[in-house]
Amino acid sequence: MNKNLTLIYFLLLVGTPGCEEDKSNNKHHRKTIANSRKSSQDVTRKVLFERFTRKFKPLTLPLTIKTLDIQSTAAYKPIMDKDSIFIHSGYPNETWAYGMLPDTSGSIQLVWLAPAEIYDPVLTTFTKGGQKISEQHLSVGGCGSDCCFTCDEYIYIRKDRSIYSVDSIKSCTCDESGPKKNTMRKYIRYRTGKIGEDGEISLSGVQEKKLK
C-alpha cells in the first residue's frame, strides 16, 4: 500500500511525458494560429492602405502651400469615416486628401486638409504597411478675420524634407470708430521642422518676430 502511494506521489510530482508533450503542442498550435491571424491582418491593412493612398495626388518638392488659396475642395478627394483607421478626424467627410510627397522608399508621407476657418494642412507619415509613424499640423494658426487684421500664410517643404511655415501679419488696435492711429503692428509667426529618414516629424512651437 505504501509503495502504491509513493508511486502516485512520484507521478504527480514529475508528471507524465504524454501530458507535457500535449501541453507543448497546444501552446505551439495557439502561437501558430495567433501569428497566422496577425499576418492576415497585416496583409489586409496593407491592401486597404494602398487603396487609401490612391486618393492623394502626387506632389513634387520643393512644395509651397498658400493656405489662403485653398478655397475650393473640388480638386481633392474626401477622407471618409471608413478611412479613420489611417487618418482620424473629428470631422469625417469634411476632410480632404491634398497629396503625397515623392520618394516613398523610407515612408509614405501624406498631406491632408483639416476643416477650419482656413483649411489646415496636416502631414501624416506611415510605414508601407499602413502603420502610422508621426503626424503634425503644419499651419501656424494665426490667420483669421478681424478689424485691421491681414495675414498671408505659406508652408514650405524643401527637397531635404525641411519644413518652414510662416504667416506674415498686420494688425492694429480697434474701437467703435474703427482702427486707431499709430497702432499698426507688422510681424511674422513661424515654425520650423523636418521629416526624418525614419518618417518621424519634428516641428517647433510657434515663434514670433517683429518686422520693421
Straight-line distance from the first to the last Cα atom of the chain, in angstroms, rounded to the nearest whole number: 105
Cα separation values, 149 from 72, 125, 179, Å: 23, 34, 10
Residue 101: the pLDDT is 97
Query: For the chain, which ranges sit under pLDDT 70?
Result: 1-41, 142, 144-146
User: Quick one: which of 134, 129, 92, 90 has its CA closest to 110?
Assistant: 134
In this structure, the dihedral spanned by the alpha carbons of residues 65, 70, 73 and 77, taken in order and rounded to 10 degrees, is 10
3 membership: H or E segment, kind and range? helix 2-14
Compute the distance between CA of residue 149 and CA of residue 171 in angstroms, rounded to an integer. Answer: 4
Cα separation values, 95 from 59, 60, 148, 196, Å: 18, 22, 30, 25
Residue 18: the pLDDT is 56
Compute the distance between CA of residue 187 and CA of residue 171 in angstroms, rounded to an integer. Answer: 9
Residue 171: count other Cβ atoms within 10 Å of its Cβ.
Answer: 18
User: Across the strands, what pairs with 209?
Assistant: 188
Residue 105: the pLDDT is 82
The pTM of the full predicted model, rounded to 2 decimals, is 0.78
Residue 92: the pLDDT is 77
Residue 20: the pLDDT is 58
Residue 148: the pLDDT is 80
Compute the distance between CA of residue 51 and CA of residue 54 in angstroms, rounded to an integer. Answer: 5
160: left (phi over 0), alpha (psi -120 to 50) or beta: alpha
The DSSP-derived string for 4-62 is HHHHHHHHHHH--HHHHHHHHHHHHHHHHHHHHHHHHHHHHHHHHHHHHHTTSPB--SS
Residue 43: the pLDDT is 81
> Which tens digits make up the pLDDT trace of 60-97?
999 999 999 998 899 999 999 889 999 988 887 899 99
Residue 143: the pLDDT is 72
